[in-house]
Chains A and B, each alone.
Chain A
Amino acid sequence: MADESLIEFLHAEIVKYVIDSNDDKVNTKCSLQKYISTLEYLGYITGFRIIERLTREWSPFKNELETMKFLCTDFWSSIYMKQIDNLRTNHKGVYVLQDNAFRYLVHLSSQKQYLEFAPRFVAFTCGLIRGALSNLGITCLVTAEVDQMPACKFHIQVQRS
């Protein structure tokens, strides 16, 4: 097992790299969208692959809620060394996963400082969740919301066909 901080430093550099390579000084709004979606895509691929490895000893999940519970416990603790602190759902395909001390934000701030930079540090994880669920047969949309660092809420909206 590699040192925990290795992934943190690597993640920080990936974020920086993606932002620098997408730096478009003419239209900053457009480049924000661009780098967020690049990071999300990287997360998606990673999540899609890692779930294969994590569930190799599991039998298929009974339903959507069971899948989400797996995500909050085993999936999260194998990646972020802790479980999700709160899982809520409206039973209509919307799930909210709350992590009160999200790993990529915990060293940044405990107040409002740096809040404007939060989106770039959660985009990868949004993709990670989406990729994992996608491989488990759930198509969804994942967004993140940060009100107060280091807490982060991930909204999962399952797309019903």
Chain B
Amino acid sequence: MTIYNFYLFDKNGTLLYYAEWFRVKQSGMTREEEGKLMYGMLFSLKTFVTRISPMDVKEGFLYYKTSKYVLNYFETPTGLKFVLNTDIVSPNNRDILQQIYSQIYVEYVVKNPLCSMNEAIESELFKTKLDEFIKRTPIYSVRSV
């Protein structure tokens, strides 16, 4: 089981943070372009899911899965979007994203007066804490090659 990479977008689509652990293939574009592409896709998917849904939508878009990976999506009421790519055998990873939000983003970005909330995150502490957190998760440590 593996965690590949992580994206964090604000409500306007700015890529606030990106981190990767076991990403094998790069997209062949700049991180900025990739972020825009990713955000655009998420935005469309969200709208699509809400429109097409045959019943009232509660949570909307949660994740998608290909034959190789799962993209886990978590959006807060304030419009922050957390995205985590994992492999397909990993269990539901929503709670991981929720914890990243409440224990790391809120603690080390929101409560850091030197961090602007609509620009890319520069804080080393946030970076360290996120990395530690991901490496502590069970799906990171039990890794099948």
Name A residues whose Cβ lies closer than 8 Å to a Cβ of B.
5, 8-9, 12-13, 15-16, 107-111, 113-114, 117, 121
Within the complex, the shortest CB–CB distance from B20 to chain A, in Å, comes to: 21
Proximity bits, B113-132, A CB within 8 Å = 1, else 0:
11000000001110010000
B111 interfacial by beta-carbon distance below 8 Å: yes
Contact A109 B111 (CB under 8 A): no
Kindly list chain B residues whose C-beta atoms are within 8 Å of the C-beta of A9.
111
Contact B111 A5 (CB under 8 A): yes
Kindly list chain B residues whose C-beta atoms are within 8 Å of the C-beta of A109.
123-125
Kindly list chain A residues whose C-beta atoms are within 8 Å of the C-beta of B112.
107-108
Kindly list chain A residues whose C-beta atoms are within 8 Å of the C-beta of B114.
108, 114, 117
Select from chain A the residue with minimum beta-carbon distance to B106. A5
In the A-B complex, the 6 residue pairs with the closest CB atoms = A12-B113, A107-B111, A113-B124, A107-B112, A109-B125, A110-B125
Q: Which one of A15, A107, A109 has the greatest number of beta carbons of chain B within 10 Å?
A: A107
Q: Besides A113-B125, A117-B114, 6 other CB < 8 A contacts? A: A12-B113, A107-B111, A107-B125, A108-B114, A108-B125, A113-B124
Within the complex, the shortest CB–CB distance from A14 to chain B, in Å, comes to: 10
Q: List 17 A-B contacts (CB under 8 A).
A: A5-B111, A8-B111, A9-B111, A12-B113, A107-B112, A107-B125, A108-B112, A109-B123, A109-B124, A109-B125, A110-B125, A110-B128, A111-B125, A113-B123, A113-B124, A114-B114, A121-B113
Q: How far is the CA of A79 from the CA of B69 in the complex (A)?
A: 48
Q: How far is the CA of A52 from the CA of B98 in the complex (A)?
A: 43
Select from chain B the residue with minimum beta-carbon distance to A111. B124
Name B residues whose Cβ lies closer than 8 Å to a Cβ of A.
107-108, 111-114, 123-125, 128
Kindly list chain A residues whose C-beta atoms are within 8 Å of the C-beta of B124.
109-111, 113
Q: Which one of A13, A16, A109 has the greatest number of beta carbons of chain B within 10 Å?
A: A109
Kindly list chain B residues whose C-beta atoms are within 8 Å of the C-beta of A111.
124-125
Q: How far is the CA of A108 from the CA of B108 in the complex (A)?
A: 7
Kindly list chain A residues whose C-beta atoms are within 8 Å of the C-beta of B125.
107-111, 113
Q: How far is the CA of A114 from the CA of B122 in the complex (A)?
A: 10
Contact B123 A16 (CB under 8 A): no
Within the complex, the shortest CB–CB distance from B61 to chain A, in Å, comes to: 30
Kindly list chain B residues whose C-beta atoms are within 8 Å of the C-beta of A8.
111
Within the complex, the shortest CB–CB distance from B108 to chain A, in Å, comes to: 6
Q: How far is the CA of A114 from the CA of B113 in the complex (A)?
A: 11
Kindly list chain A residues whose C-beta atoms are within 8 Å of the C-beta of B111.
5, 8-9, 107
Contact B113 A16 (CB under 8 A): yes
Select from chain A the residue with minimum beta-carbon distance to B129. A110
Within the complex, the shortest CB–CB distance from A82 to chain B, in Å, comes to: 16
Contacting residue for B108 out of A13, A16, A107, CB 8 A = A107
Within the complex, the shortest CB–CB distance from A108 to chain B, in Å, comes to: 5
